[in-house]
Amino acid sequence: MKKTLTIVALMLVASAAAFAQSKVYLTREISPESLVRIYKALGVPAKGRVAVKMSTGEGSNPNYLKPELVKNLIFEVDGTIVECNTAYGNSPADKKDDRNTSENHWKVIERHGFTKYFPVDIMDEYDEIRIPVKDQTHIKYDIVGGHMANYDFMIALNHFKGHPMGGYGGALKNLSIGCASQNGKAYIHSAGKMEKLDMGKLWTPEFIGNQDGFLESMAAAAQAVVNYFNKKQGIIYISVMNNMSIDCDCVDHPEPVKLEDYGILASTDPVALDQACIDIINQQKVTAKNDPTDLLKRIDKQHGTHTIDHAAQIGLGSKKYELVNLK
């Protein structure tokens, strides 16, 4: 009898786990105040030295999250904006907007107004470190900016939008490509083939021909960053759905924005957060002012949701979520 009860109890626990849902908070208001409000709704206070990982934008890209929008949140947590250099260069006409050297990257950061308000740290300006990766299908470690070791807690402050290679950019991309050093970016993009950046070779079919491998490497690298901060003081994720071009903030001249701004979402689960953002785009109806068609085509063409699928498969988070609307 006791054995039967034990089996039933285990089945109930397994059933509950199978239907476990992560909470994703949503506010339709995009403002400095609502960013602070949704951060507090998560109930996970930032502790110690706080890194706020966000994109400060390519030189001529107008869509990045503006310092005036994020400043209240960063002041609230006494945070430092952290970035890493890019693994590509622009055309000769746009060299002033390059971010592939720290010298040029600092010029863009300053021009975009971030140094006016906050401390900013290019994490791979001087060095890089390797951190453990649980899923070693393609990459054996994650190569991140060396200054990551200086922080105890991370807020992944993401701008949700499209991306030319990943299909979309959200929490998982910000954690992986965003935190990777230049060599780390090459390692992820090449699905483990290139450990030291060679710009002349990286963007050739030989090194970027495995699209699913690249997406799976992003998921693995994202998990590495999450595990790294969970062993310290913690990590949370906030995504802003505004200025949603099919192109990333890393594109110097992005395609026009065809979607209306939607809101801000936040979670303690990056997989659930990205899935919620994707679901919102899928639910948009085509109108004269709001057309998700091009973004959905971009995501589908690049098999973008495979990143979410693989991240869930390796245990980074859950695709099941409960959407909690903040009043």
Condensed to tens digits (0 to 9), the pLDDT of residues 138-161 reads 999 999 999 999 999 999 999 999
Residue 100's region, left for phi above 0, alpha for psi from -120 to 50, else beta, is: alpha
In-domain check, residue 235: yes
In-domain check, residue 21: no
Residue type, 251: V
Find the domain containing 67 and state its range. 27-325
Q: What's the mean pLDDT in 120-143?
A: 98
- Residue 301, SS3 per DSSP: helix
In-domain check, residue 19: no
CATH number, domain at 108?
A: 3.40.50
- The structure's pTM equals 0.92
In-domain check, residue 315: yes
Number of domains in the chain: 1
In-domain check, residue 147: yes
pLDDT tens digits, 251-296? 888 999 999 999 999 999 999 999 999 999 999 999 999 999 999 9
**Helix runs in the chain, H state only:** 2-18, 32-41, 67-77, 102-111, 171-176, 182-189, 199-202, 205-208, 211-230, 270-282, 293-301, 306-313
Lowest-pLDDT range of 91-100, 244-253, 316-325 = 91-100
Return the axis-axis angle of helices 211-230 and 182-189, rounded to nearest 10°.
Answer: 130
Return the axis-axis angle of helices 270-282 and 293-301, rounded to nearest 10°.
Answer: 130
